[in-house]
């Protein structure tokens, strides 16, 4: 006689043990239809599983986050069933729900083709039409291992084998397909609906280990209804329009070519934007007490051996051997160079904290498959800095860095920033006692700053723990940009020290920090965040002056001269073309402000202003227009 308590606090008494489906039906037919699973005392259960005792029960509907995840998980099972029907000698492995969809990893000799995807998708729809009952079964672990081994599913058997002996496992059966799964699942395949689509195939290593066999992964997306599916597919198209590689071309910012994989060829407009980013950062960090330096790009291999980089990353460094047989490395980082500058001057604790910054161009031989537009390159520019300080100064310096980073992100319109604390990795340099100290210092700085953060275990740098600053862009994607690392190892390895108040030699603490991270990557993120519609203060060409007829050419030249004299980046378009033609071309090129000038404007020294994205025009005196734009630049305002 279970008493069921619903989330709103109401209670229902049932005469006998009752299933989630029955509870939902007793509340309403609409709910019964939308229900996909239940949560019983916080634990997700199948809708058909019988509840014997008093419990708190929550009905999960297909529209809820949990319900959607379940649908996606079911879609993965239906995918696996379809593949097993079509190609019985394919082995199944794992198939989880992921953000926006699902995937399933299969082991087979022949990779899937694009045509196979269509075939599989059609079969999945048949399985949905068949409306097969999905049943939960509890097996003894060893029986399950023997069963899967018996039907040739070695991977499945291996997974179950890694579950502690003596534990029972749950299997789910739908039609002739049976799979190990924690559940819960839908009561039948028909409930999945057809708002799913297979999207692409790729390779994926078994258990995520590159030493293992490469499996064939099929990705798909799944939603609660067709409308949601269409909305998602539309969002993908919109994201593609924002692609910085496409916009970099239409905005004439940069290009890549085969002779320099992973390295940017900057065009005048792209370099202008790059310089704007540097100018801004320079101003902000000078104000925060940093001094800018520059260190060599090519240094002897011995320095990298001393720093520990050679051992950890030697395979990923560009090297160069001179005719006399000396081996040099092209710098992958700036820190060893900064330590050399520290060693040349600083001897006293009175000089600390000592903050050195560099816009250093680094080269890393990234795996070819990792390259991706400007987001992952082999030649990039870091806004790198190192704060040399005493152990007592770690907290205050770390807080200052956090505030600097968050403030700068706000200036770029990134308000949603997450912080992750990454501690010691398995492969590292230095004593554990030193790591204890560095991690504790970073955590205490975080606690003192009052900022929220999450824990990212084992993801620290080889020389110290770090904070990762992750910003979320306009369409909800996360990008890790900034970093703050506490390093108690490198100064000692490279022989840096200072004389403390006590007259003794001490090792300085080194805080590594970057805010943009890579300027190339940050620019890519900025372009995609703004969909190319850069805020006025960053736009390489801020104003285009378009003439209606050639009678206005002289006035247009005057306007350009005036704009440039006031520090605005402006270009004229005096071509013998119709105004619509010019407007379209510069709109496509994402120029934020267009001034149209014709006879009327020439006569009263005005401009007809059209902002990117707007179809309206505003006529204003040239003087007022310039002032308004200067104000906007000063405020670093974003249009969106």
Partner RNA sequence: GCCCACAUAGCUCAGGGGUAGAGCACUUCCUUGGUAAGGAAGAGGCCCCCGGUUCAAAUCCGGGUGUGGGCUCCA
Among the listed residues 182, 326, 477, 600, the single contact to RNA using CB under 7 A: 600
Catalytic residue among 105, 179, 384, 573: 384
Q: Does 81 bind RNA (CB under 7 A)?
A: no
Q: Counting contacts by CB under 7 A, is residue 209 touching RNA?
A: yes
**Minimum CB distance to RNA, residue 335 (Å):** 7
319 part of the interface to RNA, by CB under 7 A: no
Residue placing its CB nearer to RNA in the complex, 183 or 598: 598
529 is annotated as an active-site residue:
no
Q: How far is the CB of 212 from RNA (least distance, A)?
A: 9
588 forms part of the interface with RNA (CB under 7 A): yes
Residue 245 is a binding residue for RNA (CB under 7 A): yes
Q: Which of residues 161-200 bind RNA (CB under 7 A)?
A: 200
Report the residue number, 67 or 491, with the smaller CB distance to RNA.
491
Nearer to RNA, 261 or 268 (CB): 261
For residue 538, the minimal CB distance to RNA (Å) is 19
Does 551 qualify as catalytic in the annotation?
no
Please say whether the beta carbons of 106 and 215 come within 8 A.
yes
The window from 3-11, 74-82, 331-339, 389-397 that contacts RNA (CB under 7 A) reads 331-339
Q: CA 247, CA 431: separation in Å to the nearest integer?
A: 48
Give residues 519-578 in contact with RNA (rule: CB under 7 A): 548-551, 576-578
Stretch that binds RNA, among 155-163, 264-272, 347-355, 593-601 (CB under 7 A): 593-601
Count residues near RNA (CB under 7 A): 74
Our finding on whether 366 is near RNA (CB under 7 A) is yes
Please name every residue paired with 104 in a beta bridge, in sequence order, or none if there are none: 218
Kindly state whether residue 625 participates in binding RNA, applying the rule CB under 7 A.
no
61 vs 91, beta carbon nearer RNA = 91
Distances in whole angstroms, Cα of residue 371 to Cα of each of 215, 262, 297, 378, 553: 22, 6, 22, 8, 46
Displacement of CA 170 from its chain's centroid (Å)? 35
Q: How far is the CB of 73 from RNA (least distance, A)?
A: 17
* Residue 386 annotated to the active site: yes
Q: Is 364 a catalytic residue?
A: yes
Residues 6+ apart with CB under 8 A from 302: none
- Tell me the two tokens of residue 637: 């305002």
Q: Any catalytic annotation for residue 384?
A: yes
Q: Which is nearer to RNA, 59 or 247 (CB)?
A: 247
Reduced to 3 states (helix: H, G, I; strand: E, B; else coil), residue 293 is coil
Pick from 371, 399, 434, 470 the residue near RNA by CB under 7 A. Answer: 371
Report which DSSP code applies to 487.
Answer: E
- Phi, psi (rounded to 5 degrees) for 2: -70, 140
Question: Shortest gap between Cβ of 500 and RNA (angstroms)?
Answer: 27
Told to check if 261 binds RNA by CB under 7 A, we report: yes
**Taking CB under 7 A as the criterion, which residues in 429-488 touch RNA?**
461-463, 485
User: Which residues from 336-365 bind RNA, rule CB under 7 A?
Assistant: 364-365
> Which residue from 50, 233, 370, 637 is in contact with RNA, where contact means CB under 7 A?
370
Nearer to RNA, 14 or 365 (CB): 365
Which of 77, 309, 428, 513 contacts RNA by CB under 7 A?
Answer: 309
Contact pattern for RNA over residues 385 through 424, marking x by CB under 7 A: ----------------------------------------
Nearer Cβ to RNA (123/217): 217
Nearer residue to RNA within complex by CB, 39 or 217: 217
Determine contact, residues 342/508, Cβ cutoff 8 Å.
yes
Closest CA to 560 of 552, 551, 570: 570
- Shortest separation between residue 360's beta carbon and RNA, angstroms: 12
Give the integer Cα–Cα distance in Å for 56 and 41: 5
| Catalytic residue (one of 141, 174, 309, 335) | 335
Per annotation, catalytic residue among 84, 185, 386, 582: 386
As a three-state string, the secondary structure of 213-271 is CEEEEEEEEECCCHHHHHHHHHHHHHHHHHCHHHHHHHCCCEECCCCCCCCCEECHHHH
Q: Name the active-site residue from 123, 466, 513, 582.
A: 466
Helix (H, G, I), strand (E, B), or coil: what is residue 9? coil
Rounded Cα–Cα distance for residues 284 and 404 (Å): 8
Q: Which residue reads 């397909």 in tokens?
A: 177
Catalytic residue, candidates 512, 544, 582, 590: 512
Q: Is 330 in the site for RNA (CB under 7 A)?
A: no
627 assigned to active site:
no
Tell me whether residue 382 is one of the annotated catalytic residues: yes
103 sits in which H/E element = strand 101-107
CA 510 to chain centre: 27
> Nearest distance from residue 369's CB to RNA, in Å?
2
- Residue 619: strand, helix, or coil: strand
Choose between 252 and 284: whose C-beta lies nearer to RNA.
Answer: 252
CB burial of 414-450 (b: ≥16 within 10 Å; e: otherwise) equals: beebebbbbbbeeebbbeeebbebbbebbbebbeebe
* Contact call for residue 237 and RNA (CB under 7 A): no
Residue in this structure with the two tokens 């805020």, named with its chain if needed: 535
Which residues, in sequence order, are bridge partners of residue 292?
357
The yes or no reply on residue 620 touching RNA (CB under 7 A) is no
Near RNA in 104-123, by CB under 7 A: 111, 113-114
- Of 95, 137, 139, whose CA–CA distance to 120 is shortest? 95
Site for RNA in 487-516 (CB under 7 A): 512
Structural contact between residues 294 and 360, judged by C-beta atoms closer than 8 angstroms = yes
- Cβ at position 481, least distance to RNA in Å: 12
How far is residue 341 from each of residues 290, 308, 335, 345, 484, measured CA to CA in Å? 14, 18, 10, 7, 20
C-alpha 612/C-alpha 571 separation (Å) is 16
Euclidean distance between CA atoms 365 and 368, whole angstroms? 8
Options 10, 29, 344, 580; binder of RNA; rule CB under 7 A: 580
254: its two tokens: 């940069």
How would DSSP label each residue in 299-366? EEHHHHHHHTHHHHHGGGS-EEE-TT--EEEE-S-SHHHHHHHHHHH--BGGG-SEEEEEEEEEE---
Site track 27-66 with RNA (rule: CB under 7 A), x = hit? ----------------------------------------
- Residues with a catalytic annotation lie at 335, 364, 382, 384, 386, 466, 512
């Amino acid at each position: 006689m279970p008493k069921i308590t619903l989330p709103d606090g109401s209670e229902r008494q049932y005469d006998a043990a009752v299933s989630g489906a029955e509870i939902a039906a007793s509340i309403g037919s609409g709910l019964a239809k939308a229900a996909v699973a239940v949560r019983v005392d916080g634990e997700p259960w199948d809708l058909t599983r019988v509840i014997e005792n008093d419990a708190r029960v929550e009905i999960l509907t297909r529209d809820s986050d949990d319900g959607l995840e379940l649908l996606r998980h079911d879609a993965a099972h239906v995918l696996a069933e379809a593949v097993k029907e079509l190609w019985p000698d394919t082995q199944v492995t794992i198939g989880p729900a992921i953000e926006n969809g699902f995937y399933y990893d299969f082991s087979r000799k022949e990779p899937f083709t694009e045509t196979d995807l269509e075939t599989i998708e059609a079969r999945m729809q048949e399985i949905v039409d068949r409306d097969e009952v999905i049943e939960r079964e509890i097996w003894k672990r060893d029986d399950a291992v023997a069963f899967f081994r018996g039907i040739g599913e070695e991977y499945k058997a291996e997974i179950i084998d890694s579950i502690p002996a003596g534990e029972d496992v749950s299997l789910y059966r739908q039609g002739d397909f049976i799979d190990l799964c924690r559940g819960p699942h839908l009561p039948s395949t028909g409930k999945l609906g057809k708002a799913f689509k297979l999207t692409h195939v790729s390779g994926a290593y078994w258990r995520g280990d590159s030493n293992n066999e490469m499996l064939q992964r099929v990705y798909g997306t799944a939603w609660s209804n067709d409308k949601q599916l269409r909305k998602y597919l539309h969002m993908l198209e919109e994201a593609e329009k924002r692609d910085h590689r496409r916009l970099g071309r239409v905005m004439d910012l940069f290009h890549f070519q085969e002779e320099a994989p992973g390295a940017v060829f900057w065009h005048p407009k792209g370099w202008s934007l790059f310089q704007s980013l540097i100018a801004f950062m320079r101003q902000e960090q000078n104000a925060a007490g940093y001094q800018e330096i520059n260190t060599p790009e090519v240094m002897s291999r011995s320095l990298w051996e001393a720093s520990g980089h050679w051992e950890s990353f030697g395979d990923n460094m560009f090297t160069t051997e001179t005719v006399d047989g000396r081996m040099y490395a092209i710098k992958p980082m700036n820190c060893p160079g900064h330590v050399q500058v520290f060693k040349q001057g600083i001897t006293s604790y009175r000089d600390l904290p000592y903050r050195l910054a560099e816009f250093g161009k680094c080269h890393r031989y990234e795996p070819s498959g990792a390259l991706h537009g400007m987001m992952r390159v082999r030649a990039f520019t870091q806004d790198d800095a190192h704060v040399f300080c005493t152990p007592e100064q770690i907290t205050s310096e770390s807080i200052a860095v956090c505030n600097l980073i968050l403030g700068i992100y706000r200036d770029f319109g990134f308000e949603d920033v997450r912080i992750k604390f990454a501690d010691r990795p398995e492969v590292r340099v230095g004593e554990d006692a030193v790591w204890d100290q560095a991690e504790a210092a970073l955590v205490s700085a975080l606690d003192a700053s009052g900022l929220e953060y999450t824990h990212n275990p084992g993801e620290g740098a080889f020389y110290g723990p770090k904070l990762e600053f992750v910003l979320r862009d306009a369409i909800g994607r996360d990008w890790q940009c900034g970093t703050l690392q506490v390093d108690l190892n490198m100064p000692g390895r490279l022989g840096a020290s200072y004389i403390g108040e006590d007259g003794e030699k001490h090792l300085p603490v080194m805080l590594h920090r970057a805010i943009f991270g890579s300027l190339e990557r940050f620019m890519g993120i900025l372009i995609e965040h703004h969909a190319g519609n850069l805020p006025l203060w960053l736009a390489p060409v801020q104003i285009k002056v378009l003439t209606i007829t050639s009678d206005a050419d002289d006035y247009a030249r005057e306007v350009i001269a005036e704009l440039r004299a006031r520090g605005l980046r402006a270009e004229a378009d005096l071509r013998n073309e119709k105004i619509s033609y010019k407007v379209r071309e510069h709109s496509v090129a994402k120029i934020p402000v267009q001034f149209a000038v014709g006879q009327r404007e020439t006569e009263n020294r005005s401009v007809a202003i059209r902002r990117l994205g707007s179809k309206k025009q505003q006529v204003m005196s040239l003087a007022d227009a310039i002032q308004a734009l200067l104000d906007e630049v000063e405020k670093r305002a974003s249009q969106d």
